[in-house]
């Protein structure tokens, strides 16, 4: 696509200003003359921010090309200031509708992820050891109480999840949970489960009235009352009646209750019960094969991760974020009319292989191939406007690992469908239980969180309640971003709907389908911020979002009885 004439004239200035990345800065597609320079600077600012994010997440002080983090920050500031002025001077009313949308998207990004202090990233920066023997009530006195308590709790949680001590070894949270799913010795499982209490205590202390979480949830609930529930807002954005969300959460949990054995189990046996498929097949997924199997399946789907320039940082490292995530390291861009791939980065920590870790890696790669397919003008080249859709899209392909045909094709062995689905939905129903937990705790922030959690898990998951154990306090999202767990819950409902519709329109993809990636790109992946998530989903489904697909799939578990 040809460049607007004004941008060709201004190119030498802007190239000098933003020469900070290995790929060329190009004009935004279809930008009018008055918008082209601003949108080009916006693209350049994202390029610098993406490299800063990767550098910090890598725990490094310089980018992979040797550019120091300090220099990246300087370049960021040098671009952001003139960009802010340029966007402020644009008269949106004189623009066409799409360009008005583009200006709005850029202004919103500048106030959010591209704010002036956007050094912070999802991974955070290495810092001194947090002081975790503290009085939460003291931290909540004065201004910015919520932010200060949240930061302290998350820092202590991060340290705790990386230092679980068990039988003379130091484990991280994911490794410990993986061991719970594989240990045949029930007493050993019990001991390991209790060893994880250092994580719980980092959030909830002794569950007394002065526990960190009890102080925090009261502050968070006050914000929800003042600003509105993020769960309700998520529903409205997706054109779902907010009252339906809690109803759907309960329906999915009730489907698990009705489709699984009614005998009560101990919480330390939960992962073992749900992990039958993983135990049977994990020897076929050694650590060194995680990346191989991941790349093979996506290649069979028409998404070659090497050709898409996807990078992986999967090894343990002190100070590394405990949460697996994927982000732009560079964005797809036009060069002389042809789209060039971006550079997505996947960050996770794996000390062992196994089916469940493979599922998580496939999920993160699902995000990477998604953002690789967003071919839009720079203003719209970002994650969709809805986190539930974004989170769910990571699972469209990943959930196939629990199907016997996938297992036989890629691993050479399989388990019955009912056991595979227990593995698929064991994690999902826990996410949904956490989402329901957050909704109820924010409705009544003075409630005992252990009691609220025990009520949910005993009723729907057949787990014996232990009010003395804060074993719900294992997800960093509960403090990092209250309400975010609903994205996983709503996302699982959306993606069950989308997965069923993909099969209906395009056929099966369990053992690969070389046109799958092109189909997903055309119908779902490519839009970025150019269209609302609600429009993309409902147009693809041909109807509003519903819970029927996930409930129908869960009913296939009944054979496990």
DSSP for 330-382 reads S--EEETTEEE----EEE---SS--HHHHHHHHHHHHHHHHHHT----GGG-S
Q: Which of the four pLDDT bands, split at 50, 70 and 90, describes residue 33?
A: low
Q: At what angle do helices 97-111 and 36-57 cross, to 10 degrees?
A: 40
* Cβ-contact 353, 282 below 8 angstroms: yes
Q: Which of the four pLDDT bands, split at 50, 70 and 90, describes residue 10?
A: very low
Could you read off the pLDDT of 460-478 as tens digits, one per residue? Answer: 999 999 999 999 999 999 9
In angstroms, the Cα distances linking 45 to 14, 68, 114, 194 are: 11, 16, 8, 47
Q: Which of 405, 561, 420, 549 is nearest to 491 (CA)?
A: 549
C-alpha–C-alpha distance, residues 432 and 489, integer Å:
5
* Cβ-contact 519, 224 below 8 angstroms: no
Q: In this structure, which long-range contacts are made by residues 217-226, counting pairs with CB atoms below 8 Å and at least 24 apart in sequence?
A: 217/441, 217/442, 217/445, 217/449, 217/482, 218/445, 218/446, 219/140, 219/145, 219/146, 219/149, 220/146, 220/442, 220/445, 220/482, 221/441, 221/442, 221/443, 221/445, 223/146, 224/442, 224/482, 224/483
Could you read off the pLDDT of 516-539 as tens digits, one per residue? Answer: 999 999 999 999 999 999 999 999
C-alpha–C-alpha distance, residues 29 and 50, integer Å:
21
Could you read off the pLDDT of 395-452 as tens digits, one per residue? Answer: 999 999 999 999 999 999 999 999 999 999 999 999 999 999 999 999 999 999 999 9
Would you state the pLDDT for residue 175? 85
Q: Which DSSP category does 327 fall into?
A: E
Q: Which of 348, 389, 404 is nearest to 523 (CA)?
A: 389
C-alpha–C-alpha distance, residues 181 and 252, integer Å:
22
């Amino acid at each position: 696509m040809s460049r607007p004439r004004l941008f060709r004239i201004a190119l030498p200035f802007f190239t000098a200003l933003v020469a900070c990345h290995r790929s060329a800065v190009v004009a935004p597609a279809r930008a009018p003359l008055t918008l082209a320079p601003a949108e080009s600077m916006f693209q350049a600012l994202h390029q610098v921010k993406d490299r800063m994010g990767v550098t910090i997440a890598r725990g490094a002080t310089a980018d992979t090309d040797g550019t120091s983090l300090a220099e990246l920050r300087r370049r960021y500031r040098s671009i952001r200031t003139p960009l802010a002025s340029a966007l402020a001077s644009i008269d949106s009313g004189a623009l066409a509708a799409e360009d008005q949308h583009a200006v709005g998207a850029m202004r919103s990004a500048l106030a959010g992820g591209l704010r002036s202090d956007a050094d912070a990233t999802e991974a955070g920066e290495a810092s001194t050891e947090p002081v975790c023997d503290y009085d939460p009530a003291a931290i909540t006195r004065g201004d910015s109480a919520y932010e200060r308590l949240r930061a302290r709790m998350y820092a202590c949680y991060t340290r705790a999840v990386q230092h679980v001590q068990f039988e003379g070894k130091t484990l991280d949270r994911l490794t410990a949970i993986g061991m719970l799913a594989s240990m045949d010795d029930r007493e050993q499982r019990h001991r390991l489960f209790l060893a994880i209490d250092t994580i719980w205590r980092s959030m909830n202390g002794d569950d007394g009235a002065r526990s960190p979480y009890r102080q925090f949830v009261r502050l968070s609930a006050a914000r929800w009352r003042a600003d509105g529930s993020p769960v309700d807002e998520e529903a409205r954005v997706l054109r779902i009646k907010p009252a339906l969300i809690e109803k759907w959460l309960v329906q999915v949990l009730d489907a698990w209750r009705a489709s699984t054995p009614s005998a009560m189990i101990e919480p330390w046996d939960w992962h073992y019960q749900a992990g039958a498929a993983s135990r049977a097949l994990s020897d076929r997924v050694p650590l060194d094969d995680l990346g191989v199997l991941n790349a093979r399946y996506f290649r069979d789907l028409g998404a070659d991760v090497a050709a898409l320039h996807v990078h992986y940082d999967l090894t343990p490292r002190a100070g590394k974020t405990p949460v697996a995530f994927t982000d732009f390291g560079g964005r797809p861009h036009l060069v002389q009319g042809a789209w060039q791939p971006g550079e997505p980065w996947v960050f996770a920590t794996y000390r062992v292989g196994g089916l469940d870790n493979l599922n998580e890696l496939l999920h993160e790669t699902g995000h990477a191939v998604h953002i690789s397919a967003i071919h839009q003008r720079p203003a719209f080249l970002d994650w969709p406007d809805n986190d539930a859709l974004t989170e769910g899209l990571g699972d469209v392909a990943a959930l196939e690992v629990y199907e016997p045909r996938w297992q036989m094709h890629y691993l050479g062995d399989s388990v019955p469908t009912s056991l595979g689905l227990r593995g698929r939905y064991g994690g999902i129903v826990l996410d949904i239980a956490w989402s329901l937990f957050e909704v109820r705790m924010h409705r009544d922030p003075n409630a005992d969180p252990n009691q609220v959690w025990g009520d949910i898990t005993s009723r729907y998951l057949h787990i014996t309640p232990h009010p003395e154990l804060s074993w719900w306090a294992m997800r960093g999202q509960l403090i990092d971003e209250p309400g975010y767990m609903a994205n996983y819950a709503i996302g699982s409902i959306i993606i069950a709907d989308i997965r069923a519709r993909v099969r209906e329109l395009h056929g099966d993809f369990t053992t690969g389908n070389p046109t799958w990636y092109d189909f997903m790109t055309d119908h779902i992946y490519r839009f970025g911020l150019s269209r609302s998530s609600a429009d993309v989903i409902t147009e693809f489904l041909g109807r509003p979002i519903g819970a029927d697909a996930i409930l129908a799939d869960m009913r296939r578990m009944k054979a496990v009885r």
